[in-house]
Chains A and B, each alone.
With several copies, the nearest count.
Chain A
Amino acid sequence: GQAYQSNVNDSTNTKTKSDDNNKPLRIAVAANFTPVLKVLLKDFTRQTGIKTQVISGASGAMFLQIKYGAPFDMFLSADSRRPKELEQAGYALKGSRKTYAIGQLALYSSSNNSNANSLGQLSLEEELAVDQLRKPPARFAIANPDTAPYGKAAKEALTHLGLWQLYESRLIKGINIGQTFAQLRSKAVTRGIVANSQLVLNNLSGVIIPSNYHQAIEQQLIIIRSSKQQTAAEKLSHFLLSAQSQNRIVSYGYAQTQLVNNANKKLSELTAK
């Protein structure tokens, strides 16, 4: 991803001027969501006139950076754990934490005729996934289960199928889901579990792994408490959670979020009590 600004000159202004209104809304976003966000932001800027700047990166690094004073206004993480931690540590605007997307795993194979396996009925999908997974290749790529949410979910799915033992020694672990995808694209490893959105964005096809095999990959956002543009950030938060945006997000290979956000709300209400 790169900076999205309606006016490039603004970027130079950010260095010198401290006029908040002139500063674009700075959004730190997990790399896997960057392309989708960029598409959505075009509409957002058109509708609200709010200029934005996208900073794409690894959630882990951004998490640390926010803790040490990074000048971000908003953080779209690839997981829910880091936003939660930031919220608890007081770096997030109270109540700003929202699930903006739910990741979907897909089994990708760069070598075989995976084109035939177009997305179809759930049952068929399930069958295909299990079918393919039962024949483990020599090397299999997933994101690091210890640090990356998509990796953790992949591990859960494999465990769910009782295949974890079989796979554990064959794993190529990417630092995040982006690197896993790059490793697969290089064809050095031919099969692995990636984010479905990555496949959609690149016009590739794979087999979706049923979401009930693993805990939901909630991708949450927060608004940074020290931000001077909290209103604009809140507007964007609303925009992203709007039904229209959510539909577009889902069309990029993410799962439906409605349910989860409600559940989430309940959960936070409960914990608040």
Chain B
Amino acid sequence: MINSDLQALVTTLEMAALTTLILLIVGTPLAWYLAKMTSRFKVIIEAVVALPLVLPPTVLGFYLLIAFSPEHLPGQLWQQATGQQLAFSFSAIVIGSVLYSLPFVVQPLQKAFEQLGDSLLEAGALLGAGPIDRFFSIVLPLTKASFITAASLGFAHTVGEFGVILMIGGNIPGETRVLSIALFDHVEAFDYARAHLLAISLLIGSMVLLAAIYWLNLPKRSNSKNLSQVRSVK
């Protein structure tokens, strides 16, 4: 009984961790590009990235399901490349979550990169730091807080995701059955005691996780000049 929930927890964590990783790897250059881009196509790309927000997850899931099925190109390509069906696989829910959570990662990062400005990057370049070096030695540490926001929004949103995953994953235990679906199932199956238990564990677990993340991000600022002056200008 509890075993099956544990299994869902493991799947959820695997999926959310992998999704967050991919989101950061894909989202960071995308956000950087958008932040520095001046072309008029920028607004279009921005709108496309934000689109998953507007569609109800189940509907988004419906379209993804169609795309992932072996009858359509993305699903076909995947099958040719990996020999496995894409729909109803672990890979499918990761891809779905990545698409669905992309705006939550891209937008905070983009704004952070925009606010950063160029002056410190110019200084870095003139000390011999190339673009990659500058990114890791200047941009990343200065926008650390936004990366944490982006990652935690992405992670949390993936954990809470339900409609898309249910549709393209098919709720298969050990593969695509995640905690949010398990929780939903408990409610549907009138198993309120277990639903409450799971919901509360989920809440406490995520709260501890989120608090830990935010706390990790806290001490860095504590002895800065700005902080000591907060009271004066509140």
Chain A residues close to B by CB (< 8 Å)? 1-3, 5, 8, 11-12, 14-15, 26, 31, 34-35, 53, 55-57, 60-61, 64-65, 68-72, 85, 138-139, 141, 144, 146-148, 171-175, 178-179, 181-183, 185-189, 198, 201-202
Contacts and interface: CB of A to CB of B under 8 A. Distances in A.
Contact of A64 (B3, B7, B65, B172): B65
Contacts of B90: 15
Contact of A1 (B70, B87, B172, B189): B189
Interface in B1-40: 1, 3-5, 7
Interface of B: 1, 3-5, 7, 58, 62, 65-66, 68-71, 75, 85, 87-88, 90, 166-168, 170-175, 177, 182, 184-185, 187-190, 192
A3 B177 contact: yes
B7 A189 contact: no
A34 to B, nearest CB: 5
Contacts of A181: 190
Nearest to A14: B174
Contacts of A5: 173
A186 B69 contact: yes
A158 to B, nearest CB: 16
B172 A172 contact: yes
A198 B70 contact: no
Nearest to B184: A175
Contact of B189 (A34, A138, A139, A186): A34
Contacts of A3: 4, 7, 173-174, 177
A70 B69 CA distance: 9
15 contacts: A53-B173, A60-B188, A64-B65, A68-B66, A69-B85, A71-B170, A139-B170, A144-B171, A144-B188, A172-B172, A174-B170, A175-B184, A178-B188, A182-B187, A189-B170
A61 B167 contact: yes
Contacts of B168: 188
A72 B70 CA distance: 16
Contact of A202 (B58, B173, B174, B190): B190
Contacts of B71: 68-69, 187
Contacts of B190: 35, 85, 181, 185, 198, 201-202
Contacts of B173: 2-3, 5, 11, 53, 55
B4 A179 contact: no
A179 B7 CA distance: 24
A49 to B, nearest CB: 20
Contacts of A61: 58, 166-167
A115 B98 CA distance: 38
A181 to B, nearest CB: 7
Contact of B88 (A12, A188, A201): A188
A67 to B, nearest CB: 8
A69 B88 contact: yes
Contacts of B177: 3, 55
B166 A175 contact: yes
Contact of B167 (A2, A183, A202): A183
Of listed A172, A185, A188, residue having the most chain B CB within 10 A: A188
Given A8-B3, A175-B171, 5 more contacts: A31-B189, A60-B188, A64-B167, A65-B87, A174-B171
B7 A8 contact: yes
Given A69-B85, A182-B62, A186-B66, A57 B166 contact: yes
A171 B168 CA distance: 13
A31 B166 CA distance: 14
Contacts of A12: 174
B69 A172 contact: no
A253 B231 CA distance: 66
Contacts of B174: 3, 11-12, 14-15
Given A35-B189, A69-B70, A188-B75, A183 B85 contact: no
A202 B100 CA distance: 30
A56 B170 contact: no
Given A11-B173, A55-B172, A65 B167 contact: yes
Contacts of B187: 60, 64, 178, 182
A187 B66 contact: yes
A56 B184 CA distance: 10
B69 to A, nearest CB: 4
A3 to B, nearest CB: 4
A71 to B, nearest CB: 6
List the 6 shortest-distance A-B pairs measured between CB atoms, nearest first.
Answer: A172-B170, A188-B87, A11-B174, A188-B69, A3-B173, A147-B188
B224 to A, nearest CB: 48
A5 B3 CA distance: 11
